[in-house]
Amino acid sequence: MKTKILFKSYKNFPKESVAFIDLTPSFADPCVRTQILDDLAGLFRDKIDFIVSPDARGFLWGMPVAERLGVGFIPLRKEGKLPKDAIAHTVRYKTEYSETILCLPVGDIGGKRLLFVDDVYATGGTYMAAKQLVSRARGILIGGAVVVDIELDTNSDIRALAKRSELTLYK
């Protein structure tokens, strides 16, 4: 059975030509939310040590997936959200609509296997930034699990519950 995903789409947000996908309706329905989280966790059954997710919507999916898999969780924070001495590594990266800095908090992930979890995969900017951060800390990013792939970039490391072209099934 295909994962049911409830969402709203907003054209030209946060800038012209971008279609923002809001997964808030999936959080509001406990059955849908539970199914999405279970299905995200099921995308990777490889041995992993940590889930790593970006600020802020990634946290909403990454932490409960970590709980389901019984592994640690590492939040990747945007610039200005952590004191300088709490940051191990930073990387500047571009997304579909912005450029920002992502920070990896201090922690020992050397030799550990990590899985990237986020809400939406677009251009791959956030995923590649996470991959750089994990690599700089001597960790191994084995791939990513996302709720929706909006099909702006092709990356075989990313496993998605749905493609943008499939979302119309659940409006």
CATH label of the domain that carries residue 68: 3.40.50.2020
> What does the pLDDT read at residue 1?
62
In a domain, 64, yes or no: yes
Mean pLDDT per 10-residue segment, the chain (171 residues): 88 89 95 97 92 96 97 96 95 88 95 97 94 97 96 90 77 45
In a domain, 15, yes or no: no
Consecutive H or E run containing 116: strand 113-121
Q: What's the length of the chain?
A: 171
Q: Answer yes or no: pTM beyond 0.85.
A: yes
Q: Give yes or no for a contact between 65 and 34, defined as CB atoms under 8 angstroms apart.
A: no
- How many domains does the chain fold into? 1
In a domain, 71, yes or no: yes
Domain extent at residue 161: 46-165
